[in-house]
Structures are given as structure tokens and as C-alpha cells.
Amino acid sequence: MSKNLTKDNLLKSTTIVGLMTFLSRISGLIRDIIYARLFGALPLMDAFLVAFRVPNSFRRFFAEGAFSRAFIPVLSDYEENEDEEGIKELIDRTAGTLGTILFFITLLGVIFSPFLILIFAPGFSQIDTNNGRYELSVEMLRFTFPYLFFISLTALCGAVLNTKKHFWATAFNPVILNIVLILSAVLLAPNFDNPGLALAIGVFVAGILQLLFLLPFLKSFNRVPIPKWGWKDSGVKRVIKLMIPSLIGGSASQINLLINTLIASFLAAGSVSWIYYSDRLLEFPVGVFGVALSTVVLPFLSKENALNNQKRFKETLRWGLNLALLVSIPSAAGLFFLSEPLISTIFLGGSFSQYDLSMTDISLKGYSIGIIGLCMVLVLSPSFYAREDSKTPLRFGLITLLVNIIFSIILVTYFMSINSDFPHLGLALAFSIASLTNAALLFFHLIREKLIDLNKDWFFHILRIMLATIGMIAFLLVFNPDSSLWISSMLFERIKALAFLISISITIYITILFLLGFRFKDIRIETES
């Protein structure tokens, strides 16, 4: 079958996904602003964040994580080598098997909600520091946990669409969640004795709507699943075989965030919320760009692997890595030096106090360096899953988890021993160290496998990025106003000043890149479609 050569297909697809993801992150940011203004870092907010983080984290490393990484390579192989009937049979049996297992997991999750809270936030059970958080989180988890069932089936639908190179609908889908949660906070919460329960019900409703949203797009490709049990189906077995190790291997960062939440539950009330707000700002560049890049790269790599085209595989991987570093390094620097302006502009006001600002600021500074590792992992890990190798990321993921746990304990203990006001900084720093460790392990393994070539062009690419970033940092050090001005200024003034700093920083970064010889052709790639 003849194939048309299309320039910049990868870059175009990444841009589309990035734009849709940007809408998702903006709506998510609006949601978090409303949360901060209405609930701040109150015990109610701590409880809801745990009740939502449990199914949401499972969603990220089970459904959108392990399942997508396992299912897309197998489906890509079927799309290239099987007839229409075989492809449809794989989708139907995967949907039926996944749906049945998830139904029973969801049922158990609802029944054993009290025990799940004890596992994921054991500090909530301590009477002297509880502030009602345990009871609140248990009540909310019974409504939020079914979200895992609906969003996992949504992930199946999204994986099918991504394989067909139809990315935008899947990337836009989280906007629905954010809109429903905003409406729940503004319209429903004031009418509930427990406002957090309104948010939990919103999560449940959003899960149903997100699944329904994708079905018309599947119908246009004749890919709407008709669920069938297929535990013994050869294709389903391949998916399960790849899924099991990738549950940890490709989701180390999400597990690390859960560990951070667990440890934070033992710290001062508000610690869970401070970590959440800083994590949300961290996720903005990672989610908009890193996730978009990962979403696009995996199907393309899977296709090249199915066609046994190693040359194109290496080119695609190199392109993704170069682009990830181009964005993640300045993003890390920007978040570090603009953490206080960002937090004060976005969250300060209402129930979110100046004290919450300072606590979230120090946490975000600790998290910021981790952006580089997170973005690299999102590009590097698909190169393993595309070749149906989930054992190597598993091994590295376990090492990463161990690193995070060890450094979390060491750093939190250290900050508490010196009577620091911010022991949660230790959690943020441990997360960043673990993320960089995971990226380094994957990177050097791919070098050994000769899938990444460290030539002079690559080193010069890194040097340009570093010099441009240093120039941007110099500007921020000179022109970033004193912290007192960010706190005392009116919201409009903060927005204007922040927009000025960000726009000039980006301009300086790009200008230095071009002066050092960077051209847009350096991030272009030709792909077959």
C-alpha cells in the first residue's frame, strides 16, 4: 500500500494536542482558582483532594498510563497486520475484559473506602490532627471512586482514537471534568452541609459525561466497542502482559505523588493542599507540552516498530527528546524564579492566605527542577512500550520509587529536626530527585541500545538551550519585583506585571536561541502517514 509523505506530521499533531491540552489546563487552573478562593487549605479541601487523588491517580497510571502504553502498541500492530474483523474483535474483547475487572474493583473501592483512606492518608486517622478530615474523605471517596470505572473506559476509547491519529477529542476531554467541577463548586457546594460532597458528586457525573463524549468519534471510525469477555484472547493476553509491569514502570511519578500525599497527611493541616496547588502549577507545562508530546509520540513509534523501521524510530525519538529539552529546561527555571508571582496572581485571596502563599511557594520551588525529568520520561518511556518492552521501565520505576521514599524520609526528617516551618519542601525535593533519576536511567539505557546517538549536534543543542535559559534567568533576577509588591498589589496589577515578565522572558529565550544558530527546521521531521 502506497503511503503519502507528510511534512511535520508529528509537530502538527503535537501542536493540536498541545492546544487542546492547553484548554484543559486553563479550565483546570480556573477550577483550582475557585477552589483556592472558596476553600483555601481548609481541612475540607485536604479531605476532598485525597478523595479525588486516589481514583485520579489510579486513572493516570492504570487507565491513561499502563493501559494506553500496553494497548496502543498492540492495536497499532493489528491495524498494520490484521483485517477489519480482527481489529474490531480485539477492541471488543479488551473493552469487555477491562470493563468487567474495573466494575469489581470499583465495587470493592466503594465498600472499603474507610480502609483506602487509611492507606493513602493514614495521618488523617490521628485524632489530635484530624480536624474531621478522615470522616469527610471517606464520605467523598464513595462518590469519587467510581470515576475510575468511567474514565478507564474513556481511556480505552481515547487509545483507539489516538491510534487512528485522531488526537484532539481525547485531549479536549478533560475540559468536561473541569467544567462540571467548577459548576459543582459554584452552584452545588453552597447548598450542601458538606460542600466537599458536592465536588465528589461532580467527579462522578463528569466521569459519565467524558465517556459519552468520545462515543460519536468512535462511531465515525466504526470502532464503538461491543464488550465481550476475552481473558483468553491472544491480543488481550498481549495487552495484559504489557500492562502488569508498566503499572509501576511508566507511572513512577504518579506513585511518588501518592507517596507524598501519604507522608503529607502526617504533617500540619494544609500540607496536602499546599502540595496540591504547587503540583497543579507544575503540571501546567508538563501537561500542556509533555503529555501532548507523549500522546503523539507513542502511536508513531509503535507504527515504526510494527513496520520494523529502526531508522525512522530513532529519528522520531531524537525529535521528541530535543523538543522536550527545548521546552522543559526554561520552564523549570521560569517556575522556580516566578513561583511567588504565579501563586499570588492565581490563588491569593479569599480563603487562600499569605501564609498559604509562602508554603505553596516553597513547595513549588522544590518541585520545579523535576519538570525536566518528567518531560524526558514522557518521551523516553514510549520508546520502550512501542517495542513491547515494559520490564525495563518497571525495573527503573522501582528504583525511582525507592529513591523517592528514601529522600522523602531523609529530607522531611531533616527539616523537622531543625524546626523548619516547611517540612513539606522535603517531599517536593525528593520528587524532583526521583524524576531526574528515572529520566537518567531510561536515557542511558537507550544509549546502550544505540537508539540515542550523542553527537556534537546534540551537545550543541543542549548548550544553546542552557545559554538561552541563563539569559532569561538574568532578566528575571534583575526585573522581578520584591515579594511585598506582589502581595500588596491589586489583582490587575499582578496580572499585568506577570504577563510582562513571562512575555519578555520568552522573547529573550527565543532571541538568544536564534542568535546561537537555532532555526525552526531543527525541530521539523518528516513522517509517513
The confidence band for 72, taking pLDDT boundaries of 50, 70 and 90, is confident
The pLDDT of residue 131 is 63
Q: Which three cell numbers stand for residue 60?
A: 493516570
The confidence band for 474, taking pLDDT boundaries of 50, 70 and 90, is very high
Percent pLDDT > 90 in the chain is: 25
The pLDDT of residue 278 is 87
Per-residue pLDDT at 146 exceeds 80:
yes
Q: Which three cell numbers stand for residue 173?
A: 476531554
d(CA 422, CA 417): 11
Angle at 135 between CA 133 and CA 141, to 5 degrees: 95
CB atoms within 10 A of CB 336: 17
CB atoms within 10 A of CB 434: 28
Residue 463 phi/psi, 5-degree rounding, is -60, -45
Write the Ramachandran bin of 411: left for phi over 0, alpha for psi from -120 to 50, otherwise beta.
alpha
d(CA 398, CA 240): 19
Of 430, 136, 424, residue with least CA distance to 275: 424
The reported pTM is 0.74
The confidence band for 454, taking pLDDT boundaries of 50, 70 and 90, is confident
The confidence band for 227, taking pLDDT boundaries of 50, 70 and 90, is confident
Higher pLDDT, 263 or 10: 263
- Report the half-sphere exposure of 525 (CA within 13 A, side-chain side): 25
The pLDDT of residue 102 is 85
Percent pLDDT > 70 in the chain is: 89
Higher pLDDT, 200 or 520: 200
Do 263 and 102 meet the contact criterion of CB atoms below 8 Å apart? no
Q: What is the mean pLDDT of residues 135-163?
A: 87
d(CA 241, CA 70): 8
Q: What is the mean pLDDT of residues 50-79?
A: 75
The pLDDT of residue 6 is 39
Per-residue pLDDT at 499 exceeds 70:
yes
The confidence band for 128, taking pLDDT boundaries of 50, 70 and 90, is very low
Per-residue pLDDT at 129 exceeds 80:
no
Per-residue pLDDT at 208 exceeds 90:
yes
Higher pLDDT, 190 or 133: 190
Q: What is the pLDDT of residues 338-395, one digit of tens each?
A: 999 988 888 887 778 888 888 999 999 999 989 999 889 888 988 887 887 878 888 8
Per-residue pLDDT at 403 exceeds 90:
yes
The pLDDT of residue 333 is 94
Higher pLDDT, 321 or 527: 321
Rg value, the chain, Cα:
23
Per-residue pLDDT at 408 exceeds 70:
yes
d(CA 386, CA 383): 5
Q: What is the mean pLDDT of residues 96-119?
A: 88
3-state SS class at 351? coil
Three-state secondary structure of 254-269: HHHHHHHHHHHCCCCC
d(CA 138, CA 136): 6
d(CA 3, CA 367): 44
Provide CB contacts within 8 A for 6, sequence distance 6+. 526, 527, 528, 529
Calculate the alpha carbon distances from 277 to 52, 151, 203, 362 in Å: 14, 23, 18, 11
The pLDDT of residue 291 is 67
d(CA 451, CA 301): 12
Calculate the alpha carbon distances from 88 to 36, 78, 214, 222, 307 in Å: 45, 10, 17, 9, 21
Q: What is the mean pLDDT of residues 118-145?
A: 77
d(CA 55, CA 51): 8
The pLDDT of residue 247 is 66
The pLDDT of residue 249 is 56
Three-state secondary structure of 452-514: CCCCHHHHHHHHHHHHHHHHHHHHHHHHCCCHHHHHHCCHHHHHHHHHHHHHHHHHHHHHHHH
- Report the half-sphere exposure of 317 (CA within 13 A, side-chain side): 30
Q: What is the pLDDT of residues 237-261, one digit of tens each?
A: 888 887 777 666 556 666 777 787 7
Q: What is the mean pLDDT of residues 406-434?
A: 90
Residue at grid coordinates 472558596: 38
Q: What is the pLDDT of residues 335-351, one digit of tens each?
A: 999 999 988 888 887 77
The confidence band for 4, taking pLDDT boundaries of 50, 70 and 90, is very low
Higher pLDDT, 328 or 47: 328
Higher pLDDT, 152 or 22: 152
d(CA 156, CA 364): 33
Q: What is the pLDDT of residues 152-180, one digit of tens each?
A: 888 888 888 878 877 788 888 889 999 99
d(CA 371, CA 329): 8
Q: Which three cell numbers stand for residue 85?
A: 474483523
d(CA 338, CA 320): 27
d(CA 442, CA 411): 25
Of 234, 235, 311, residue with least CA distance to 76: 235
Q: Which of 109-113, 243-247, 339-343, 485-489 has the lowest mean pLDDT?
A: 243-247
The confidence band for 7, taking pLDDT boundaries of 50, 70 and 90, is very low
Q: Which of 251-265, 270-284, 359-373, 460-474 has the lowest mean pLDDT?
A: 251-265
d(CA 194, CA 171): 32
d(CA 147, CA 155): 12
Do 142 and 110 meet the contact criterion of CB atoms below 8 Å apart? yes
Name residue 505's amino acid. S
Q: What is the mean pLDDT of residues 312-321?
A: 85
Mean of the per-residue pLDDT values for the chain? 83
Q: What are the sequence ranges of the domains in the chain? A: 5-453, 456-523
Q: In this structure, is the dihedral angle defined by the CA atoms of residues 392, 529, 23 and 370, taken in order, positive or negative?
A: positive
Residue at grid coordinates 459519565: 208
